[in-house]
Amino acid sequence: YLDPPLHEFVPTDEEDIKALAEDMGITVEEVKAKCDALHEFNPMMGHRGCRLSVTYPEIAKMQTRAVMEAAIEVSREKGYTITPEIMIPLVGEKKELKYVKDIVIEEAEAVKKEMNSEIKYKIGTMIEIPRAALLANEVAEEAEFFSFGTNDLTQYTLAVDRNNEDLINFYITAHKAVLRLIKMTIQNAHKAEIPVGICGDLAADKRLTEKFLRYGADSFSIIPSKILEMRSEIRKVDLNEKKSK
Q: What is the mean pLDDT of each run of 10 residues along the chain (245 residues)?
A: 78 87 89 80 77 92 97 96 96 96 98 97 96 96 96 87 69 78 97 96 90 95 92 88 55
- The pairs formed by 237-242 with CB atoms below 8 angstroms and a separation of 24 or more are 237/209, 237/210, 237/213, 239/213, 239/214
> How many angstroms separate the Cα of 206 from the Cα of each of 34, 104, 144?
45, 36, 27
DSSP string of 129-171? SHHHHHTHHHHTTS-S-EEEEHHHHHHHHHT--TT-HHHHHHH
Please state the pTM of the whole predicted model.
Answer: 0.84
pLDDT at 122: 98
The four Cα atoms 129, 56, 123, 150 give a dihedral, to 10 degrees, of: -20
pLDDT of residue 174: 60
Q: How far apart are CA 25 and CA 23, in angstroms?
A: 6
How confident is the model at residue 168, as a pLDDT? 64
